[in-house]
Structure 1
Amino acid sequence: MQTKINLEGEWKLQLDETKQGLTLPFTDVITLPGTTSYARKGPKNEEVLVSALTDEYLFEGQVWFAREVFIPDELAGKACYLFLERTRLTTLWLDNTEIGSRNSLNTPHIYELPKLQAGIHTITVRVDNTDYPTKGGHLTSQDTQTNWNGITGRMELQFYGESQLTNIRLESNLAARTVRITATLDSNCETTLAVSAQSFNSEETHAVDEGEFPVSPGLFSVDYVLGQNALLWSEGAPNLYNITLVLKDRDGHITDQQELIFGLKEFRAEGDKFTINGEKTFLRGKHDGLIFPLTGYAPTDVEEWVRILGISKSYGINHYRFHTCCPPEAAFTAADMLGIYMQPELPFWGTITEKTDDGHNQAEQDYLISEGYAILQAFGNHPSFVMMSLGNELWGSKAKIDSFLKDYKAFDKRILYTQGSNNHQWVPEILEHDDFFSGVRFSRERLFRGSYAMCDAPLGHVQTALPSTMKDYDDQIVPLDLLNGEKMEDTAGGEIQIQYGTEAKTVKADEASGEWIPHIPVVSHEIGQYATYPNFEEIEKYNGPLKAENFKIFRERLESNGLGHLAAKYFECSGQLAVACYKEELEAAFRSRRLAGFQLLDLQDFSGQGTALVGVLDAFMDSKGMISPEEWRTFCNDAVLLARFPKYNYVSGEPFDAHVELSCFRSGLQDTLELRWELTVDNGILAEGTTEVNVPAGTNYIDICDLEITLPVVDRMSTIVLSLSIQGTDIRKSYDLWIYPEKSGNMLEGIHVFDKLSSDAFALLEQGESVLLMPKPETLQNAVEGYYCTDFWCYPMFRSISESMNRPVPVGTMGLLIDNSHPVFHEFPTEEYSTYPWWNIVQHSKSIIMDEADRSWNPVVQTIDNFERNHKLSFLVECSVGAGNLLVCALDADKVSDTPEGRQFLSSLAGYMKSAAFKPQYKATVNELLELIK
C-alpha cells in the first residue's frame, strides 16, 4: 500500500541569480511549500510597476533547496517517487547524485528514485524560473500570479509495494451507467482488482456493490457497473462518488489501494448547444488568470478553491476558462463539488508554425503539446474537466493546429476541444476537429459581443447603439442572406494589423473560406471589459508579497490634479455605469438563441496589462459594493427573464410595448409557469398582470407574452420600474424606464444662448444678464469627446496599442459624476451616475478640460477621466462673470432636441437660469474663460 513521507517544513535555501551553481554551505532557510517572494527572501525589488502589481521580493534565477529525510526500515527498498505538486523548472539530486529534470508548468513534477536504504538521505532541488521552454502565458506573467520561484502544494515521498496501479483513467458511460477503469498494473504476477464506490456529497446516498476483476501486468480496462439508480453529475446536482481501487495478491493481501473522485456524466456538443447528461446547458463563463494578490501564486487547497468558485457560483457562473494556464488539482476538486465546467488552456499566446516557416520553434511546439497530454493525464478524471483550449488568440498554420486537435482527441475523447480562444481574430475559421468555437466575430461586421477596443473596431452595440433590449446575435451567427445561399464579402487575404497581447503586430491573413455558418457551439470570448475607477481604499489589502504601488501612483496623479477628494465618487459612479453595461452585455447573450455561452472578462479585477479594473469583484474576489450577487443573478443565471423593448425614454401617454421571454436551462421547473408583471412609480402600481405559459419538455427559450401598456400622463419627468417575476421561484428582473411630459417649441426660449464667447455675450454678462454658452462640440479643441459607455479594459494599454497601429485612440472616459442635488436638475431629476436619460445628451457633447482652471471652480456635471490622464472634465459648469451669470455646456442642442430626454434637459437648464437659484459661487474673469474655451 502507498505510504507517504511529508516533506513540508524547513528547507535549506541558496539563491543563485547568476546561475553559478550550488555554493556550500547553504546560507539561509525557507519554509516550503511556498515561494521566495512570499517568504521575503533575497534583495527587495526596487522597481515599481505602473501596469501591474509590484512583486516586492521578485527573484528570477535559480534557487537551491535541500533537506535531509529519514527513511525507516519498513520503507527501505520499496518503489519510491518524489512528488512536487507545482513548481517551475526543476532538477533533482539525491545524496549528491543527479536524478533528472522536469519542466511542466501545469502538472506535478514526479521523480522515480532508486530504492532507498534505511537512514538519512539528502534531497536537493534546484528551481529555475528563467528560460522557460515556451513564451508562456498567465502562469508566469507579472500581470497575473507573477513569475514566482519555489515549490507550492504537496511535497512528499511516495512509497509503493510490489504491485501498483499507475496512469489510472476513469471514463463515464452514461447509457450503461458504468465507469470504465483503465490503468497500468506494475507487477510481476496476476492479481485481483477490487472496485467499490460510495456517493459522498449528495442528499441521496448510493453505495455500489464491490466488484472484483482479475488483471494482468500491463495496460488493462474493466467496466464497473454503478447501476440504473446511479447518481449523475451536473452543475445543478454535482453528485460525486469515491471510487476505491484495491489490488490483492493471490493470498488476499492488499498491495496497493487508491481512491479517486468520480462523477458519472456526459458533457457533449450537440448542434449549437452543449448538453450535460442529454439536457442542454448554457455556459455562463468567467475568465481566470490565477490572480491571487495575497500570495502571488495559486492556492492548492480545496477549501480555498471552494470559497473562490463558490463566490463565482453565487454570481450565476457555471464555467471557468483559464487563460493560458491550468489551475492546480484542488481547483478541479472544488469544481467537482460545486458543479463548475472547467476549461484549462495550454500556456501559449503566439503563432503555430510549420517546420518550413521562418522562426519555427519545434522544441517549443513539442513542449506545448506534451503539456496538453500531461494536463489530460493529471486532471482528466475530474468530472468538472470538460473542455480544453490550445491557447489564447493563436495565429499561424490552421492545418498544424488542427493536427494537434486530432491527436488530443485520439488520446482522450472525454474532453471537448477547441483550436484556441479567439484564434485568427479577423479571419477565424472552424477546423475539422473543433468541438466548439470561441471567438468575438466571424468577419468584420459579424460581431457577437457588445464591446471592443478602438484598435479592434468596429465597436459593439453597448458602446455605440441607442440603449434598448432588442439586440441579440442570432443574425450574426447565422445571417439570413447566408441561409439564402448568398455569399457575403470575403475580407480575407494579404496582411492585417492586429492587437497581439498587449502590443500590435502585422500578420498574414492566410487563406480563409470567406463567410461561413458555424455548425458547432459558439462561445463568445472575453465579453464585457467595462472599466471602473480604482478604489484606493483597497491598497491596504495588499499585505502579501504583491503591493499595489500602481494604485498609489494613480492616487498621486489624481491628487496632483486637485481631484483626490473625488476618488470615492469616481469609483462608485463609474462602477454603477459598468454594472449597467454588463447587464446589457449579458442579456444580449441570453437573448441569442444560437449562442452556446459566454466567457466573461471578468467577474473580478485584472491586476495587470495596464491595470484593468473590470470586475464587480476586486482582485481578492471581494465585492466592490456595486451590485449584490442576488441582483447580478437576475441577468446571469440558469434562468433569466428578458423583456424586449426598443428604448428606455418615453413621452407622457406613449404606448409601451415589450415582449417577455425566458431563457431557461434549469432542470426541475414546473410544466406551467406564471409570470407576474408590474409597472410602478414611486412605489405605486400603474399597471399589473399575470400570464400563464406552458413549458414543453426540452424547451430552453420560452416566449411568454407581449405587454401593451399606455404610459401615464405626467407633468414632470418620472422614473418607472418594470418588474417581472416567475411565481414560486427566484427568477425575476427589473428595468428602469423614464417618462417625460410632452414638450414642444424651443426649450431655450427667453435664454441668451451663444455658441462662442463673443463680445455680445460678454456685453450681456457685464450688464448682469444670464448667458448659456453652448459651443458646438466639433469646434472645441480643449475638450474630450462625449462617450456614454465606460472605458474598455484600461486606457493606457489600448491607447498605446492604438497609437502603434496608427488608429484612433479610445475616448477613455468612465461616465458622469453628477451633483444631483443642484437646482439645475429641478426638472431633470437624476442619479449621481450615468443613466439612460443621459445617453443621447452625452453622445452629442464634449467635456471641457479644466486642468489649468482655478481648483475651486468645480463642474456641476463632471465626466470621469481614466487614471492615466486624470483630466478635470466639465460637462456642465457655471460661474459669475462681471455682473452676470454664465452656464457652460458643450452640447449640440439641435441634435438632442429631437428626443424627449434632450428637450427635458434643455428645459431644466432654462428653468434654472430663469430662477433665483441661478447664483454661481465661482467668479471667473474674461481671460480665464478665453483660456478655458478654445
Structure 2
Amino acid sequence: MTENNFYHPDSGQSDFRPSFLHFALSLAIIVLSMPLLKVPHCSGSVPHAEPDTIIDLAGVWRFKLDRENVGVKEKWYSHTLPDKIKLPGILQAQGYGDDISIRTHWVSTLHDPYWYLREEYKKYTNRAMVKVPFTSQPQKHYLGVAWYQRDISIPKSWAGKHVRLFLERARWQTTVWVDDQLIGTNNSLCTPHEFNLGELSPGKHTITIRVDNGMILPYRPDAHGVSDALGGTWNGIVGRIELHAVPKVWIDHVQIETTFHTLDVYATVLIASEEPKIANEAQLNLTVIDPNTKKIMGATSKNISIKRDQRFVPVVARIPITKKVTYWDEFNPVLYELVTTVHSSAGTHSLRRKFGFREIKVEGRDILLNNRPIFLRGTHHGGDFPLTGYPPTDVAYWRKIFHICKKWGLNHVRFHSFCPPDAAFTAADELGIYLQIEPGMWNEFSPGSIMEGHLYVETERILRAYGHHPSFVMFSASNEPKGRWRNVLPLWAEHFRILDPQRLYTPGTGFTEPDAPGPTELSDYIVVQRFGRNRVRGPGGWFGIDYTRSITNVFQPVVVHELGQWCAYPSFNIIKKFTGYLRPSNYEIFRGSAQEAGLLPLAPKFEFASGKFQALCYKEDIEAVTRTVGLAGYQLLDLHDYLGQGTALVGVLDAFWDPRGYITPAEWREFCNPIVPLAWITNRIWTTTNTFSARLGVAHFGPIPVTNLVVKWSLSESTANLPIASGEFFAWAIRLGKETNLCTIAVPLKNVHVPAKYIFKVQFFELREPNQFTKAHPWNKRTLVAQNHWPIWIYPAEIDTNVPPNVFLTQDWCEAEKHLIAGDRVIFVPPIHMLNWWCPPLDPVPIFWNRQMNPQWNRMLGLLCNKSHPALALFPTEEYYEWQWSELVSRCRAINIGQLKSPVTPIVLAIDDWNRNWRLAPIFEARVANGRLLVCSFDIINQLDNRPVARQLRKSLVTYAASRDFNPKSNISLDELRPLWFNNFTMKLLRAQVIPPEAGLLMDGNPNTAWQARFSQTNLTNQQKVTYIEFKFPDKIPIDGLILLNCQNDRFRLGDIKDFVTELSEDGSTWQEVVRGTLSSTFNPQIIRFPKTYHASHLRFKPLSTHVLGSIPTIAELSVISPLPIPSEPIEPQGLQYRPTGYSSPDIDEAPPAWQ
C-alpha cells in the first residue's frame, strides 16, 4: 500500500481510507437494519467499565430440558424452571442428557456408523457401559433444546442506563426473554452472543435463555464447529455471562487499521444511541497509548452530532502517531492500546482495544509482514478440549498452548472449521502467533444457498469481534469446500478483502477435487495439498528432492495443507489424563485389543519405536516444503494427537499437548525454526565405491539478515566422536528467504569403516567479531545460530553372500521341512505370495491419518528391532525403523506369529495398527523338529547386486545361522508352521474359472482389490432372489473349506456378508449344500470349514444377507482350502506388490511413497 491509497486533508477530502469508509458504511447498514431492542448483535467489544456497571451472572441457574421442543409454545419463559445447573457450564458435564448407546446419533460422517456390528467391538456394546472406538466420548450426549433461567436484581444506580446481556460463548442458538418480553435470537458459533435489553427498571427481573444445539443450519456434520469428532456438540453457555450498564449513547464497536508505510492509526467507531427522540451532541476522543510505559503515542478528537431517530453513527478517524513504534510480528509481539471515549449528555462511555502496528500483504509467491517475507510453520487446531468439552475463555490456557507451539519452533496455528474465543487471539497477540481463522464450516456451497448467506453473516461477526487483533492475519471460508463453491467463495474473498484489508483471504483450506485447487484469481494465498496430480506434500519431495515441479505455473503464495498425518502407536498412560468431560473410550478399546493380543507389555516400546519413525517422516515432509522455493509455509496435521474421526495419533505431542517422549523440542527445531540449515542429499544408502555429496542451503526467516556467518559441516560415524571428514567456510551474509546453493560437499567413501551408520551435520555460527575469522583462530567468539543433521548408511561395495555349508537357505517350505527333520540349520525366506492372509505387507511410511477412517490391509507403524541380537551383529540398525529399512520393506509381508500356539520372541517385530494389533515378525527363530529355523520374510535372495542393504542383512543372518550363537529358545511344531504358508494364487493354479467373469478380482491374490456383486433389488434378505459366485475347475479336486477376506478399504464395511450358503457339484447341474452359516463383520480373514473333505469340480458361494441391510455383498479374496499340494511358484511376475488401490473416502488424499 502506498500513500496514494489515502485521501488527504489538503485535497479537501476526508482523512480516512476508502476501505475503512466502505467498512463503516457497510457496518452502519448492517446494524441500522436491526431493531434496537429486539435483535442482538455481536460486537465482541468489552467496555472499560467500573465494577458497578457489570453484574456477573455466573452461578446456579434454573434449568429444564426441552426434548420435545414445546417450551416456546407452552411459554416456559413465564414459568419457574424446576431443575438446577451451573453456568458457565454445559449440561452434558452436569449429568443431563442421554447415556451413550449404540443408537447415539453422532454428528459425524467420518466414522463407521455400524461399528457395533463389528466383531472386535461387540464386547463394548453392553448397555451398562457402551464404549465407542472412533472418538473419546462425552459423558452424556444431547442434541436439542434446553432452557436456562435466573432472577436478577437491577440496582437503582442503573436507572436511565442501557443494559446489555453478554454471553461470551454459547452453543448453538440462543433466544432471550426478559420477564415475558422476547429480546432476540443469535446463532453464532464463533462470537459472543450479545443482546440489547434496553432500559430495565430497578428491581427484580427474570432472564430466560433457550439454547438449541441441534443442527439448526445445514453444516456438514464433520465441521469442528458442530461435530462430535472432538466433543463439540455441547449445550450450554461458557465464559463470561454478564449484564453491562452503559449510557444511552455508547460505543458499540471499534475497528482498527494500521499500515507499514505510515504511523497513522485509522479507527472506525460505531456510536449507538437509545435516545431516538432527542438530538445529541457528543465528543469522541481517541488515544493510542503504550500499555507498558503509559505514554501517549497519539490522540485525536471529533465532535459528533446525533440526530433524532438516529440509532447508529459511524465515525472514521485518523490518529497521527507522534512517537516511534515497534511493529508487531513473531519476534517482537509489541502491543498498543486504543482508548476510545464518547462524552454526551447521556454520560461517558469508554472502550479499550489492544492492537499491533503491522501490515500483511502478498508479493508474488511471498507473504510479507511489515515488508519482510515470512514462512508459516503452522499446526492444526480443531477445537479439541478433552477436559472441558468447550473452548476455554481464559488467556492463560491459550498462552500455554501457544507457548508450546513456539517451543516447538512454530509461528502459526490454523483453526480447522473453528473459531476460538477472544482469549486465544489475545494470547496469540502477546506471543506472536499468526492465526488462520475459519468460520466453523466444512461445507457444500452454492449461490443463493442458506450457507452462503450464513457465511457472510458469520464472517462479519468474526471481523467485528476479533478483527483488531494483530495475530488474526489469515481468513479462510471453509475447510475443503464442496459443491458449487467456485461460484461462491472467491467472491466472498474479494468482498471481505475490500471491506477489511487487514488480513489475507482464501476461499478454502485444502481441496479434494481432481483439478484442485480450482480458481485462484481472487485468492490472496492458496492452501492446498496438490495442484491436480502434482503434490506439494508427501514422499515425492523427500530425500533431497522438493516440490518445485508441482508449482511451476503457480504465482501466488502456497501454504501446504495438512502436512504430515503420520501415526505412532498410542501411549496408554494417557488414559489417566482424562479427568474431565471426555472419556478415553477409544484408548480403552485399543488397550483391550493390545492386551488380548499379548502386546500390552510391548506398548511403551511400540510407542517409542513408531514415534521415532513418525518423527523421521515429519522431518522429511517439513524439510521438503522448506527446501521448495515458492512455498510460503505449511500447516501440520498435527503437532498433537487428534481424538476423533477414528482417532488419529499423528502428533509428537499427545491430545493434552504433552510430549510423547521420542523427540525433544530441540531436535524438532533443527528442521522447524526461523532459520534451518538444509541439505540436498538424494540418497541415504551409499557404498564404498561412491562419493558422498550434499548441496547445502538455508531457509532464513528470522527478523533480520544474518551477517558474518560461518558454516561448518562434518561426516561422522554415529558411534564415533571424530569425523571422517569436515570443513567450514565463511558465508558472509544470509538474506531473508531461501538460499538453495551455499556450496556442495563431496566426500570419497573408499576407505571408510563399513557397514555403519553415519551422521552428516551442518552448523551455522555467527561471528560477533568478523575480523577474528582466521585460520589460526577460527572459533573465537562464535554464536551457534542453527544446526541440522541427516543419517546415511554406508555399506561395502562387495561382500561375500555365499551360504556356509552348515546352513541351508531356501524359499521352498517342503525342502525346509526335510532339512529341519534331518536336524539342519535352515534359513527360510518365504516368497511374498506364499504367506496366508493374516500376513500383511509392510510399508516404507507409517499409517496415514488412521485405519478406522482410512482402512487398508497394509497397516505398518514401524519396526521394533532387537539390535543387540547376534543375528543383526553385522547389520547396523537402531531399535526402530530408519531409512535403510526402506529397501527391505518395499517388497515384504510380515509373518503373523500370533497364529502360533507356542510363544516366540522375534528378532524384528513389525508394529501393527493399534486397531488390529497383529503380532507381526519379519525375522524370528525357533527350534523346529530336529533342526533350527531362522525365518526372514525380507527378500535377501533377489537382485542383490543392486540392493546393498539386503545384501548386508543376508550376510548378517547367514553368519549368525552358521555360528554357535544360533541357539533358539522357542520350540514350534511343524503343524503350527504349515498354515502360515498359503499360495495366494491357489485358485489360478487350480485353473478355476469364475462366474460372473468380473468376479475374477476375488481370486487375483491381492486383498487390496475387491469384487462387488450387482443386484437389481434394493434390499438383500433371505426371502429375495440372491446371486452367487460359481467356480468351475477342469477336474474334481478335494476341498476342505474356504477362506474369505472382506473388502479392506471401506470404513462402512457395507459389503460384509452375514449369512451364506456353499454348494458343491460334480457335474455343474446337481448341487449339494455343504455349509450354511454366518460370517462376522471383520477385516480379518475367515475360514469356512466343511464337515469333511469333498471332491467336486464346481463350487457355488451364495451370499444371503449382509450385516448392513441393503448393502451389496463385497469380497476381497475367496479361495478353496485343498489338501492338494500347491506349487510355490508365483503365477504373477516377480514384480508383484500389494499396493493399496485407493480409499473409500474422498476426504483421504494420501500420496503413495515415491519409491513404490
Is 1:208 paired with 2:256? Answer: no
1:514 counterpart residue number? none
Structure 2, unaligned runs of 5 or more = 1-47, 102-129, 274-278, 307-312, 766-782, 983-1156
2:392 corresponds to 1:392: no
Distance (Å, rounded) in 2 between the aligned partners of 1:32 and 1:180? 38
Give 1:476's match in structure 2, choosing from 550, 573, 590: 550
1:785 aligns with 2:841: yes
- Residues 673-718 of structure 1: CA deviation (Å, up to 9, x unaligned): 1112222231222222211113265554263221112236345422
The answer to whether the 8 A contact 1:815-1:863 is kept is: yes
Distance 1:568 1:896 in 2: 35
Q: Return the letter of the residue paired with 2:739.
A: Y
- Measured after TM superposition, the shift of residue 42 of structure 1 is 4.3
The answer on 1:408 being equivalent to 2:468 is no
CA distance in 2, matches of 1:123, 1:657: 74
Q: Could you tell me which residue of structure 1 aligns to residue 678 of structure 2? A: 642
What CA distance in whole angstroms lies between the structure 2 residues aligned with 1:26 and 1:823?
A: 75
Aligned to 1:889: 936
Pairs within 5 Å for 1:895-914: 895-914=943-962
Structure 2: how far apart are the matches of 1:216 and 1:683? 79
Contact residue 867 and residue 878 of structure 2 kept, 8 A: yes
Structure 1 position 915, deviation (Å): 0.6
Q: d(CA) in 1 for partners of 2:660 and 2:305?
A: 58
8 Å Cα contact 2:260/2:371 also seen in 1: no
Listed one character per residue, the Cα deviations across residues 634-686 of structure 1 (whole Å, up to 9, x for unaligned) are 11111111111121222236321111111001123432211122222312222
Match of 2:90 in 1: 35
Q: For residues 635 and 149 of structure 2, what CA distance do their matches in structure 1 show?
A: 43
Secondary structure at the counterpart of residue 588 of structure 2? helix
Matched, 1:190 2:281: yes
| C-alpha deviation, 1:215, in angstroms | 3.4
1:129 maps to 2:213: yes
Tell me the matched-pair count. Answer: 861
Out of 615, 624, 641, the residue aligned to residue 605 of structure 1 is 641
Amino acid at match of 2:894: S
Which of residues 4, 20, 36 in structure 1 aligns to 2:70? 20
CA distance in 2, matches of 1:866, 1:469: 26
Equivalent pair of 1:679/1:721 in contact (CA under 8 Å)? yes
| 1:5 shift after superposition | 1.4
Please point out which of 850, 864, 875 is paired with 1:817: 864
CA distance in 1, matches of 2:305, 2:687: 81
Query: Residue 520 of structure 2 corresponds to which residue in structure 1?
Result: 431
Pairing of 1:767-786 with structure 2 (within 5 A) = 767-782=822-837, 783-786=839-842
Matching of residues 794-873 of structure 1 within 5 Å:
794-799=850-855, 809=856, 811-854=858-901, 856-873=903-920
Code of the aligned partner of 1:789: V
Distance 1:210 1:524 in 2: 42
Aligned to 1:743: 798
Which residue is 1:89 aligned to?
173
Superposed counterparts of 1:296-315, under 5 Å: 296-315=389-408
| Distance across 1 between alignment mates of 2:723 and 2:296 | 55
Shift of 1:745: 4.5
Amino acid at match of 1:192: Q
Give the structure 2 partner of residue 489 of structure 1: none
Q: Tell me by how many angstroms 1:589 deviates.
A: 0.6
2:195 is matched with 111
Could you report, residue by residue, the CA deviation over 1:484-526 in whole angstroms, capped at 9, with x for unpaired residues? xxxxxxxxxxxxxxxxxxxxxxxxxxxxxxxxx2221111100
- The answer as to whether partners of 1:713 and 1:741 remain within 8 angstroms in 2 is no
Residues 782-832 of structure 1: per-residue CA shift (max 9 Å, x gap): 321121211000011112xxxxxxxxx351111111122211111113211
| Ranges in structure 1 where 5+ consecutive residues have no aligned partner | 356-361, 451-459, 463-467, 479-516, 800-808
* 1:45-88 Cα deviation digits (max 9, x unpaired): 35422100110122222111111111111112311111101111
Cα distance in 2 for partners of 1:285, 1:901 equals: 36
**CA displacement at 1:213 relative to structure 2:** 2.8
Taking the aligned partners of 2:753 and 2:728, their CA distance within structure 1 comes to 29
Decide whether the 8 Å contact of 1:241 with 1:262 is kept in 2.
Answer: yes
Kindly indicate whether residue 172 of structure 2 is the aligned counterpart of residue 79 of structure 1.
no
Q: Equivalent residue for 2:1145?
A: none
Of 242, 257, 260, 2:337 maps to 242
- Judging changes above 3 Å, is the alpha-carbon distance between structure 1 residues 819 and 205 closer, same or farther for their aligned structure 2 residues? farther
Aligned to 1:763: 818
Report the CA distance shift for 1:648/1:292 in structure 2 as closer, same or farther (over 3 A).
same
1:383 paired with 2:470, answer: yes
Equivalent position of 2:757 in the other structure: 719
- Aligned residue number for residue 931 of structure 1: 979
The 1:882–1:626 alpha-carbon spacing in structure 2 relative to 1, beyond 3 Å, is same
Pair 1:747–1:695, CA change in 2 (3 A) = farther
Which structure 2 residues correspond to residues 325-724 of structure 1 after superposition, within 5 A? 325-354=418-447, 362-397=449-484, 398-428=486-516, 429-444=518-533, 446-450=534-538, 460-461=539-540, 469-478=543-552, 517-652=553-688, 654-681=690-717, 682-695=720-733, 697-701=735-739, 703-711=741-749, 713-714=751-752, 716-724=754-762
Answer yes or no: is the 8 Å Cα contact 1:471–1:588 preserved in 2.
yes
Aligned AA (1:930): R
CA 1:882–1:183: 2 relative to 1, 3 Å: same
Question: Which SS does the other structure have where 1:928 is aligned?
Answer: helix
Where 1:814 maps in the other structure, the secondary structure is strand
| 1:98 aligns with one of 182, 201, 209 | 182
Task: Return the TM-score normalized by structure 2.
Answer: 0.72
The Cα shift of 1:629 comes to 1.1
Q: What's the CA shift for 1:317?
A: 1.2
Q: Distance in 1 between matches of 2:143 and 2:693?
A: 62
- Structure 1 residues 314 and 910: CA distance shift in structure 2, 3 A: same
Residue identity opposite 1:461 in structure 2: G
Quote the Cα distance in structure 2 between the aligned partners of 1:449 and 1:772.
40
Q: Distance in 1 between matches of 2:926 and 2:857?
A: 31
Q: Distance in 1 between matches of 2:137 and 2:953?
A: 46
In the alignment, the residues of structure 1 paired with residue 602 and residue 739 of structure 2 have an alpha-carbon distance, to the nearest angstrom, of 45
| Amino acid paired to 1:237 | N
* C-alpha distance in 2 between matches for 1:698 and 1:913: 57
| Greater Cα offset, 863-872 or 276-285 | 863-872
Q: What letter corresponds to residue 261 of structure 2 in structure 1? A: A
Q: Kindly, what percent of the aligned residue pairs are identical?
A: 33
Structure 1 residues 415-456: Cα deviation after superposition (integer angstroms, max 9, x where no partner): 211110123532122333211111111112x11101xxxxxx
Contact 2:137–2:231 under 8 Å retained in 1: no
Secondary structure of 1:367 counterpart: helix
Quick one: which of 275, 291, 301 aligns to 2:384?
A: 291
Of the three residues 309, 314, 321, the one matched with 1:219 is: 314
Deviations 1:92-140 (A, max 9, x none): 1111222221111111111111310111111111111113213251022
Show the counterpart of 2:370.
277
Which residue of structure 2 lines up, in the alignment, with residue 490 of structure 1?
none
Residue from 52, 59, 63 that aligns with 1:9:
59
Moved more, 335-344 or 43-52: 43-52
Q: Which runs of 4+ in 1 moved over 6 A?
A: none
Cα distance per residue 1:541-563 (max 9 Å; x no partner)? 00101001111111111211222
Secondary structure of the residue aligned to 1:382 is coil
Distance 2:749 2:703 in 1: 37
Secondary structure, aligned partner of 1:155: strand
State the TM-score, normalizing by the size of structure 1.
Answer: 0.89
Contact 1:13 1:64 in 2 (8 A): yes
Cα 1:715–1:344 shift into 2, 3 Å:
closer
